[in-house]
Amino acid sequence: MRVILRRLGVYAFTAWVTITVNFILPRLMPGNPFDQIAAKLTGVVTAQELQAIKIQLGGDINQPMIEQYWHYLNQLAHFNLGVSITLSSPVSTILAGQIWWTVGLIGVAAVLSFLIGTVLGVVFGWMRGSRADNVIPVATFLQSVPYYFLGTVLIMAFASHWHFFPLENAYDLSITPGWHWDFISSLLRHSELPILSIVLSSLAGWMLGMRNMMVTIAGEDFVLMAVAKGLPRRRVIWHAARSAILPSIANFTLAIGLLVSGSLLVEQIFNYPGVGNLILEAVGGEDYPLIQGIFLLITFTVLGASFLADILYYVLDPRIRTATAH
Amino acid sequence: MRSLQIPKSPKVISGVVILGVFIVLTVIGPWIAPYSPNTNRFSTSQMPSWHHLLGTTLLGQDVFSQLLVGCRETMVVGFVAGFIATVLSIVVGLAAGYIGGKTDEGLSLLSNVFLAIPGLPLMIVINSYLPPGKQANPLVIGVVISLTGWAWGARVLRAQTMSLRDRDFVEAARIIGESRRRIMFGEIGPNLLPVLASSLLFTILYAVGLFTTLAFLGLTPLSTWNWGTMLYWSNTQNAAIAGQWWWVGPPGIAIALVGTSLALINFGIDEFINPRLRAGGLSARQRRKVGMSRRPHLGFTPVRRVSATKPTGSN
Amino acid sequence: MTLEHNILDVQDFCVDYGYGESAVRAVSDVSFTLGASRVLGVAGESGSGKSTLVYGLTRLLRAPGVISDGEVTFTIGAEGDQRAFDLLAATEQDLRAIRWSHISIVLQSALSALNPMRRIGREFDEVLRTHDKNSSKESRHERAIELLAMVGLDADRLDRFPHELSGGQRQRIMIAMALALRPELVIMDEPTTALDVVTQREIVSELYELRRQLGFAMIFITHDLSLLVELADEIMVMYAGHIVERAAATDLYHAPRHPYTLGLMNSFPPLHGERKELSGIPGTPPDLKSLPAGCSFSPRCAYAMDICHSSKPPLVPVDETGRLAACWLHDPSHSHSVPVELARKHVRGVEAQ
Ligand SMILES: Nc1ncnc2c1ncn2[C@@H]1O[C@H](COP(=O)(O)OP(=O)(O)O)[C@@H](O)[C@H]1O
Ligand SMILES: [Mg+2]
């Protein structure tokens, strides 16, 4: 349990660093973005909201820094992320509306690619030395293809040649959203291609990592012992795979950051609603409150996912789990 | 100390060759480009031909020239960022692993923080605060990328240093009274080389990826060329929907090839670090050459009676 | 003494590492037989090919190991109802059926031989279930407890992970597991080498006791000859992949015939009895890629003659008891007198000088 608490401490600290960076960055930059924004916003938002944005962006330079900081934290604690300049509504409301698209898309894609990649890695690791090794160069190439490029290629293939998949949006905009089959099937159809691009780009990484680990673990005595015990092949592979999966989970923190970053662009390519699409609009419109809000949201989501991976690791590795128990 | 012989497998060789080609292009690319990447005096959206090896863009620019010119910026930023990040990870990782104690805790915490914050959103935020109209020069972006990309290498190096720290030869150096710095750089350093090389490759890979992504988003100066800006232009001008594969494809494939070459070289380093990836790893082709029809299955040792040609050692 | 059949019959067994041009021979022309319920000790320095031999016999050798010649016949069953298996011709399926229920193996490092992710109980359960699909979970659990009791461990060890146990406990668990299916042959590859001397001695005497009760045949590998005298009926000494001497355990121990055996004995203190000065063997084992001409041991041998550097000695009987050694010293046509320390007489039960 101590291990988990320690990790939690690290993530809490990271969250604090992220928040603080968010606070300091605008204040570090030359010039003052606030003045431009204030000009744009006068009359659009209430004075109180303006004040919140001001704090966030370092506009209220009359207050001492520490007080600004305190105020900023206070606002955050109440989920007050300011008001979007381009969309003229509270950032927290906008994000609440968009986050589920992103979490849904990336979540499903990440789980799929992890599962498929891991299983393939186990199989190819076990079949090392057979013709299946030819998959390595292909996978290495696939692993190196940027997510957004793969998305583009898929669009190109399916737009100009085969019309299998819808290429834009999360659902057919002529259908009213709701709990009925038309909408749900449209939703699924529209997510196929984005999910395919994310899965294809991230799959190879899991697969190659898992293959390497399988080959390594297959060299351990206990796997040979499993054979010596006359266990069927399936069980021998399971002995090895169970240990080999741990490094994959340990690398999850690193991988999830790359995956989320890549997926944000996939949203953009497929014009899929969600945070990724939003961040680019926000950058285009110099919508600082929105940019900051999104940054915090993404970082916290990644931290949350990493923490889940840590818990999973803890559950799966008895050496850590029992380290303090006995 | 082990000799630093990286296995010369076909994978490593092809990786080195591909990377070598791109490094050469980094140097000579802008010189051998047939046209200026900006010239838009050609007929628009042409398929590849002898005049335009990779066709032309919607604006009538030569894609092949853009690819050659864009190689330099892409590679230089990637390598510069990769090197800086690796230097940072050496300093942090070695210090944390060797000194240990409070230093280690502090530095590990720092690495964990940087590891957890996703790089792309952070870069977007930093970029958005740069004064309007004053987009950073690509090298500055490279430096910022390196600040977000050192943590993984530091973690790996720390672990390796810690395992080396307690080995005999380091102990021996300590006993004969070598200074801490001598031990760190003279004894531990060379043994870290393979891990270091692998971390360098990955950091370059990461930097090339992040830089081209930022460029793809139009967040790097559009006045100069790299593969990311090429993709930016093709994307904003809907080249994919229009099916202009000769415009969309080359920069993306080039990025992927650079990544592939780095990963292929890393296979060799992996095999060096972890002998199990190599031992008994007879490829299907090598196996056929010695006349084995079946790959060895774990725990079912093959029997091949070849008494006619007795191998060495049997006298 | 009843006439027992041979459980294992090995003829001209050869193992190579590598394929084609790059192959090196790690086990050369090894032949021996092992009677049911007998114990064969295999001794030799590290790297002499002991593990390669037994992994090869059981077809467990990893790539790039290849069995390059020989015959291995494994025979089980009572008289009149015997089944013989050609282990080198056996299919994967045949081998799976034979493994563990008839031949089990214990490795040097129990820590690495146990799956770190699993509780001990689950390992027992798995192996018992695999070979008896119809058994109930309770019966398997009971059998596991019974097996642990045989090696002097409490039932609560079943809930532990390998890393929570001491080295001695882990090795006892491996031994218990090896006996789980009452196999006819148990192979032990340096099972005590990683343990401290006290635990080593305890485990050896436990093994002695277990063997007396259960009567399984055993191949016991060690580089410590003194351990073997207590356990083995017969001892084989290996050097550079060859058998250099083979004799009844006490004969070999008290009256070695090969200079290498003599050197090996001087490398370890006897488990019981007075301590002698340990002299060891000068030099290092040869590189299999470039074995010296003639007798592989000749460069390190204090008694080497000219012929030893040019011609390989065959493994032949060296006295009327039929004990074997591969050394030119015992061939009268090449050597006029045998050094006294290699010509001791040993009368069973009496320690003769
Ligand atoms: N995978 C391998 N590839 C090549 N040579 C090997 C391999 N494994 C063992 N050997 C060689 O085979 C010889 C016998 O090794 P081994 O059977 O492990 O000896 P022992 O068990 O007696 O210590 C050694 O010289 C060793 O160098
Ligand atoms: Mg051995």
C212 and C263 housed in the same domain: no
Note whether A30 and A170 are same-domain residues: no
User: Given an 8 Å threshold on Cβ–Cβ distance, is C19 in contact with B300?
Assistant: no
B64 versus A63: the higher-pLDDT residue is: B64
Residues C207 and C295 reside in one and the same domain: no
**Residue A69 resides in a domain:** yes
Q: Is residue B293 part of a domain?
A: no
- C42 plus C131 within the same structural domain: yes
Taking the C-alpha atoms of residue B285 and residue B280, their distance in angstroms, rounded to an integer, is: 14
Q: How far is the CA of C52 from the centre of ligand 1 (A)?
A: 6
Q: Do A220 and C117 touch (CB under 8 A)?
A: no
Q: Answer whether residue A125 is part of any domain.
A: yes
> CA C41, CA A291: separation in Å to the nearest integer?
75
Residue C247: inside a domain: yes
User: Measured between alpha carbons, how far is residue B281 from residues A133, B9, C65 in Å?
Assistant: 10, 11, 12
Q: Which of C232, C259, C292 is the last residue in one of the domains?
A: C232
pLDDT of residue B135: 61
Same domain, C314 and C343: yes
Looking at the structure, do residues A234 and A321 belong to the same domain, yes or no? yes
Mean pLDDT value across residues B19-42: 85
Mean pLDDT (whole number) for B301-312 = 66
Query: What total of structural domains would you count in chain A?
Result: 2
C224 and C288 belong to one structural domain: no
Q: Is there an atom of ligand 1 within 6 Å of C70 CB?
A: no
Of C214, C232, C250, which closes a domain? C232
Per-residue pLDDT of chain C (353 residues; tens, 9 = 90+): 455 789 999 999 999 998 877 889 999 999 999 998 899 999 998 889 999 999 999 999 998 899 999 999 999 887 778 889 999 999 999 999 999 999 999 988 888 899 999 999 999 999 999 988 898 999 999 999 999 999 999 999 999 999 999 999 999 999 999 999 999 999 999 998 878 888 888 999 999 999 999 999 999 999 888 888 888 999 999 999 999 999 999 999 888 999 999 988 887 665 555 555 556 788 888 888 888 899 999 999 888 899 999 999 999 998 888 899 999 998 888 888 888 888 888 766 554 44
What single DSSP character describes residue C108?
A: S
* Same structural domain, A42 and A157: no
CB contact under 8 A, C161 and A322: yes
Greater confidence (B41 vs A56) lies with B41
Q: Do A16 and A104 share a domain, yes or no?
A: no
Give the pairing type, strands C6-17 and C24-35. antiparallel
The segment with the largest mean pLDDT, out of B138-147, B205-214, C73-82, is B205-214
In a shared domain, residues C335 and C290: yes
Asked if residue A9 and residue A101 are part of one domain, the reply reads no
Domain check: are C94 and C140 in the same one? yes
* C63 contacts A228? CB cut-off 8 A: no
Ligand with minimal distance to C238 CA: 1
Question: Per the domain annotation, does B113 fall within a domain?
Answer: yes
Is residue B42 one of the residues assigned to a domain?
no
Same-domain pairing of A193 and A227: yes
Closest of C57, A232, A229, C94 to residue B303, by C-alpha: C57
Asked whether the beta carbons of B157 and B127 are under 8 A apart, the reply is no
Of C211, C291, C237, C318, which is closest to residue C53 (Cα–Cα)? Answer: C237
- Cβ A222–C112 below 8 Å, yes or no? yes
Domain for residue C345, yes or no? yes
Distance between the two ends of chain C, CA-based, in angstroms?
29
Question: CA of B73, closest CA in chain A: separation in Å?
Answer: 18
Q: Residue A59 sits in which domain range?
A: 2-77
Closest in C18, C60, C291 to B301, CB measured: C60
The reply to whether C1 falls in a domain is: no
User: Which residues touch A269 (CB under 8 Å, ≥6 apart)?
Assistant: A148, A151, A152, A155, A194, A197, B235
The residue of chain B nearest to residue C296, with distances taken between CA atoms, is B313
Tell me if A83 is assigned to some domain: no
User: Do the domain assignments include residue C116?
Assistant: yes
Q: How many domains does chain B have?
A: 1
Residue B310 pLDDT > 50 = no
**Pair (C155, C26) in one structural domain:** yes
Whether residue B33 contacts residue B283, with contact meaning beta carbons closer than 8 Å, is answered with no
Q: Which residues of C touch A317 (CB under 8 A)?
A: 117
Q: How confident is the model at residue B34 (pLDDT cuts 50, 70, 90)?
A: confident
Q: A138 with A273, same domain? A: yes
CB contact residues (below 8 A), chain B span 51-90, against chain A: none
Look at residue B315 in the predicted model and tell me its pLDDT. 38
Rounded to the nearest 10 degrees, how much is the dihedral formed by the CA atoms of B307, B310, B314, B315? 120
Neighbours of chain A (3+ CB pairs under 8 A): B, C
Q: Which residues of A touch C (CB under 8 A)?
A: 129, 219-222, 224-232, 235, 239, 242-243, 316-319, 322, 326
- For ligand 1, say whether the CB of C52 is within 6 Å of any of its atoms: yes
Contact A127, B283 (CB under 8 A): no
Residue A192 in tokens: 């196929």
- Per CB-CB distance under 8 Å, the chain B contacts of A227 are 298-300
Output the pTM of the full model.
0.87
Q: What is the ipTM of this complex?
A: 0.91
Q: How far is the CA of C47 from the centre of ligand 2 (A)?
A: 7
Confidence of residue B312 (pLDDT cuts 50, 70, 90): very low
Whether residues A98 and A73 share a domain: the answer is no
**What residue spans of B49-100 are helical by DSSP H?**
63-99
Q: Which of B11, B121, B241 sits opposite A298 (nearest CB)?
A: B121
Interchain contact, B300 vs C95, CB within 8 Å:
yes
Shared domain for C60 and C108, answered yes or no, is: yes
Encode pLDDT of A27-80 as tens digits: 776 655 566 666 666 666 677 766 666 666 655 556 677 877 888 888 888 877
- Nearest CA among A149, A200, A131, A117 for reference residue B293: A131
Q: How far, in Å, CA of B148 to CA of B213, rounded?
A: 15
Do residue A41 and residue A172 come from a single domain? no
- A120 and A169 inside one domain: yes
pLDDT for the residue C260: 93
Q: Which chains touch C (3 or more CB pairs under 8 A)?
A: A, B
- Let me know if residue B257 belongs to a domain: yes
A89 part of a folded domain: no
**In degrees rounded to 5, what are phi and psi of residue C106?**
-120, 130
For ligand 1, atom 2, which residue shows the shortest CA distance?
C17
pLDDT at B202 over 60: yes
* Residue C298, ligand 1, Cβ within 6 A: no
Put simply, the answer to whether C63 touches B287 (Cβ < 8 Å) is no
For residue C72, what pLDDT is reported? 95
Contact call for residues B150 and B85 (beta carbons, < 8 A): yes
| Residue at B306 is within a domain | no
A105 and A73 within one domain: no
- Cβ neighbours of residue A74 under 8 Å, at least 6 residues apart? none
Segments forming the whole domain that contains residue B158 = 2-33+59-288
**Ligand with minimal distance to C50 CA:** 1
Question: Which residues are in the CB-under-5-Å shell of ion ligand 2?
Answer: C 51
- Decide if C300 is inside a domain: yes
pLDDT of residue C7: 93
Do A129 and A210 belong together in one domain? Answer: yes
The domain containing residue C96 runs over which residues?
6-232
Please indicate, yes or no, if residue A314 is contained in any of the structural domains: yes
What CATH number has the domain bearing residue C161? 3.40.50.300
Residue pairs spanning A and B at CB distance below 8 A: 189
- Beta strands C65-76 and C39-43: pairing type? unpaired
* Ranges under pLDDT 50 in chain A: 325-326
Looking at ligand 1, which residue's alpha carbon is closest to its atom 24? C47
CA distance B13 to B16: 5
DSSP-derived secondary structure for C118-143: S-HHHHHHHHHHHH-TT--HHHHHHH
* Number of domains into which chain C is organized: 2
CATH of the domain at B188: 1.10.3720.10
CB contact under 8 A, C241 and B313: yes
B contacts of A254 (beta carbons < 8 Å): 115, 152
